[in-house]
Structure 1
Amino acid sequence: MWVPAAGNKPPALLPRKAQYLTNDVKLLRQHIQVPLQFPKDFFSVILEKGSLTAMRFLTAVNMEHPEMLEKASRELWMRVWSRDEDITDPQSILAAAEKAGMSTQQARGLLEKTSAPQVKNKLKETTEAACKYGAFGLPVTVAHVDGQTHMLFGSDRMELLAHLLGEKWMGPVPPGVGAKL
């Protein structure tokens, strides 16, 4: 995902990068053993509809139920990038939240908070903080190691993160471990 505040354009809008990404996603799906695919109507889903409500929902989850953030994030990600399902309609977000283990009441309460100023402001603050580290898209990992800050872009930077942390990188799916998603 690209960050508009960074002043750049999504890679899919550049013809050569779009073709590259199509092939890259196929290889990445095999390598990381995650059911990854572009939505059928990529431009509508990603560039027109976007994910603002979903990001606000996840912000509300993080503010009130941080223990649910990973599961809710994964389910919303799977809806878009594995099953080509919507994440903009409130009913879609509720379905994802319930699949992630939230009660209907809990999910509805969090969804109502997506229009609250505190949630909107927290998402803006988080985005601004990422941009201050140099983010221009997602995923981004920021590592603070030995008094230095390192911003790493992309899902293919885990080996470099392991190096910074002094850890051994076992690959996206270590031997004997099945895919987590």
Structure 2
Amino acid sequence: MEVGAMDAKTIRVLLCMDVGSLYSWICLVLLLRYKERWSLKLHVMPVLLGAVHKLTGNAMPSLVPARGRWLGVDMERNAKFMGIPYKGIPSSFGSASFNSMYCQRLLTAVALAKGYDSDDLFKLCVSLFESIWGVDAKHEVDIMSKNFLFLGCSKAGLTKEVTEGYIQMSSQETVKQLLKENTALAVKHGAFGTPTMFVRTKSAGMSNSLEQIGDQDLMFFGSDRFEQLAFMLGKPWNGPFPSNSKL
């Protein structure tokens, strides 16, 4: 396959993400901005970043002292460049209370109920990202509490009744197991962190059940590979703010 020569009417992008990763937020927002422009069939697959690291022997960047000190600067610069309303690293970041498991289970429940390509899932992802990373960094955010999950769902436009249903569903073994399977699937095909994108250049749907990632899918890691992605797909890259963006 010749670099830059790909062309397809519809391109499927499967984004493996975790709301505990600011770079996953940046990646999702950019994909949403380019969704129509690039004719993307976007699917979001929640995974557990901590489990990805454990399965691959990887570690949080903040655990490397020099990189950890740089992380805050890099996040702030990226957020400003990408136009993301980032307010700073939460005070609980790096502690045991900064565990995205319940958020990821909630997102998995929505994906199971509405589809990995549903607007409800996209909106809730953005809402949770904003609720974690878009508030005053000095404000303590308990992302493991039901109140936090309710607030995120409310900001996403979900009713109280619908939210209660999703939260209840997120505690079911079916959802817990699906999140584990999705995480293992991403790792099996090369993921070692988030965000990770698997890109398929042939139109392909994705049902509410787990779909295999194909060997023909291209993997991209990080939120700073969009120029390469555009080049590989033969698509125009117009920076973080394409003219027809509504975000």
TM-score by length of 1: 0.89
State the Cα distance separating 1:139 from its structure 2 match: 0.7
2:66 aligns with one of 2, 16, 38: 16
Runs (5+) with no aligned partner, structure 2: 1-20, 22-48, 203-214
Aligned partner of 1:63 in structure 2 is 112
* Matching residue's letter, 1:82: G
Is the contact made by 2:195 and 2:223 (CA closer than 8 Å) also made in structure 1? yes
2:227 aligns with one of 134, 159, 168: 159
Name the CA distance, whole Å, in 2 between partners of 1:126 and 1:164: 26
Deviates more, 1:158-167 or 1:96-105: 158-167
Structure with the bigger percentage of helix: 1
Name the CA distance, whole Å, in 2 between partners of 1:155 and 1:80: 18
Aligned-residue RMSD, C-alpha: 1.9
* 1:34 and 2:90 are equivalent in the alignment: no
2:176 aligns with one of 100, 103, 120: 120
* Matching residue's letter, 1:99: K
State the Cα distance separating 1:112 from its structure 2 match: 0.8
Larger RCO (CA under 8 A, 6+ residues apart) = 2
Is the contact made by 1:79 and 1:86 (CA closer than 8 Å) also made in structure 2? no
Deviates more, 1:156-165 or 1:70-79: 156-165
Aligned partner of 1:171 in structure 2 is 239
Identity level (%): 33
Aligned partner of 1:140 in structure 2 is 196
1:43 aligns with one of 83, 94, 101: 94
Runs of at least 4 residues off by over 3 Å:
175-178
Is the contact made by 1:145 and 1:164 (CA closer than 8 Å) also made in structure 2? no
Alignment coverage as a number of residue pairs:
177
Is the contact made by 2:97 and 2:142 (CA closer than 8 Å) also made in structure 1? no
TM-score by length of 2: 0.66
**SS of the residue 1:156 aligns to:** coil
CA change 1:86–1:173 in 2 (3 A) is farther
Listed one character per residue, the Cα deviations across residues 55-94 of structure 1 (whole Å, up to 9, x for unaligned) are 0000000111233100001101111111153321011101
